[in-house]
Amino acid sequence: MKVELLFWRGCPSHPEALEILRAVLDERRPRLPVELVEVETQDDAVRLAFPGSPTIRVDGRDVDDAGASGPPSLTCRVYRLPDGRPSPVPAREQIEEALA
């Protein structure tokens, strides 16, 4: 299983996303590494089909289907928590589901 976290430094949310991701991995797949991919340019965003920061993929599949197909962009990504509130990071449940 391959876990990637793609991020853009212009958005401050990736450390929090990485913290959530690592907490879930510690519980479920403790030896699985996280590949960090920095997206620096719009060309990078297009090449990587990066819809915003942060983006977490498990075996190439986005943990949030709803936002995965957004236009490639150097921007902060909007997630929705289970209660409907907007969030700059995915819900823990989304990551757990993707790793199941």
Partner 1 sequence: MTLAARAVAPDFALSGVDGSTHSLADYADADVLVLVQSCNHCPYVLAWEDRLNAIQREYADRGVAIVAVCSNDATTHPGDSFENMVEHAREKDYAIDYLHDEDQSLARALGSERTPEVFVFDGERRLRYHGAVDDDRDEHAVATHFLRDALDAVLAGGEPEVTDTPAVGCTVKWREG
| Residues within the interface to partner 1 (CB under 8 A) | 10-13, 73, 75-79, 85-88
Residue nearer to partner 1 on the CB measure, 23 or 28: 23
Residue nearer to partner 1 on the CB measure, 33 or 69: 69
Q: How far is the CB of 89 from partner 1 (least distance, A)?
A: 8
- Whole-number Å distance between alpha carbons of 52 and 77: 5
Q: How far is the CB of 46 from partner 1 (least distance, A)?
A: 13
- Whole-number Å distance between alpha carbons of 47 and 56: 16
Q: How far is the CB of 29 from partner 1 (least distance, A)?
A: 27
Q: Report the b/e string of 74-89 with b at 16+ CB within 10 A.
A: bbbbebeeeeeeeebb
Residue nearer to partner 1 on the CB measure, 32 or 73: 73
- Whole-number Å distance between alpha carbons of 99 and 57: 10
